[in-house]
Structure 1
């Protein structure tokens, strides 16, 4: 009997040990230290996106397409400005996802994108800040490579930028580098041809703040 009891305790203890070491699945709403996807809660609420009252943007998390490892996580204005691809671009190994909403010419189109660098946030934050700085430089040089397009930066801060590009394509773009979570978030709306819906009068801060706030909830302990 003692032998049987000891065997049962041994087996039971082994089973408990097995249960203890099985890792839990990451919560898709938040991101722990190592994250292999963009959390659902990291996206700007669709109602905070300009022109939502007209277009009824979809919930962005549900429309997001993963880009991790594809090497295609470029900002929308880079395409318009014919910005050259960068060798050894840090975005090539970031966790990334993108939302694109298309409409006919003359209507506003949307691209939202989030990039996150895994691991140590000190290193990841440096990468986010570096990519942000390079992107702002590329935007400033837009007219050199796309003479018909004229950029105007309307908010120029250390880690936040908003700009309007005027020309055959009209574009409003917002970019935030959230170094505390090693993350960059982009929101861009544009119209090919004269827009049939006027751009609303609104402060850049309202959009930039709406882009930043979800990152505090999605990336654990990244905000005070």
Structure 2
């Protein structure tokens, strides 16, 4: 399935920067409060992850980590090309777990942006299933929620999480990857706990979106 479901997304409305940590759904930035708490990330005890807001950079035409690893071609009209997005990367020495968290937000009416966010994650499931050389192990596949493990075929493994919150038109990605065997054995809470932790800050970050 394509990463885009035609007709769900329209050109973005005009928006303006908002001061402070939080902002309304019509917002031209990713609020600092939108990022998952470091202590709720997998392997937090071992790596003591830093706060992600201070590491975040603007992501132009964002893609998910598995798309680069699986050589997924760009999709014409991809709605992520006009989303507001930021990415935080935490690198580690070779053999350790690398970390990426990405927040992608569509401005304007949430009935429309929410459908777009859900469609992007739904499309990602289809693209992920076609990944070569080895089919992924998908551990969660529910509307707006995806968790998978990918054997990248070159001595590396990737843990991929995606969650969409239609209430505030936002998608959050968590990707962690390492060579095999990693220096630190993989350990993570349940998919549900990880995905809930990625989603929970959005209700605060986008004021009034979860009433």
Task: Please state which band the TM-score falls in when normalised by the shorter chain.
Answer: 0.7 to 0.9
Counterpart of 1:216?
A: 203
Contact kept? 1:105, 1:193, Cα under 8 Å: no
Tell me which stretches of 4 or more aligned residues in structure 1 moved more than 2 Å: 24-28
CA shift at 1:201, angstroms?
5.1
Greater relative contact order: 1 or 2 (C-alpha under 8 angstroms, separation 6 or more)? 2
The structure having more radius of gyration, on CA atoms, is: 1
Counterpart of 2:174?
A: 187
Which residue among 20, 31, 41 is the counterpart of 1:28? Answer: 20
Contact kept? 2:84, 2:107, Cα under 8 Å: yes
CA shift at 1:121, angstroms?
0.9
Q: Distance in 1 between matches of 2:180 and 2:73?
A: 24
TM-score (norm 2): 0.87
- Give a deviation string over 1:66-94, Cα, whole Å, max 9, x none: 12xx32x1001111111111111100000
Q: Kindly tell me the number of residue pairs found equivalent between the two proteins.
A: 194
Q: Say what the alpha-carbon RMSD is for the aligned residues.
A: 1.6
Structure 2: segments with no counterpart, 5+ residues: 1-15
Q: Distance in 2 between matches of 1:190 and 1:33?
A: 32
Contact kept? 1:125, 1:178, Cα under 8 Å: yes
Counterpart of 2:102 in 1: which secondary structure? strand
1:158 and 2:147 matched:
no
CA shift at 1:26, angstroms?
2.3
Which residue among 185, 191, 211 is the counterpart of 1:198? Answer: 185
Structure 1: segments with no counterpart, 5+ residues: 1-23
Contact kept? 2:42, 2:188, Cα under 8 Å: no
Counterpart of 1:61?
A: 53
Contact kept? 1:155, 1:162, Cα under 8 Å: yes
TM-score (norm 1): 0.82
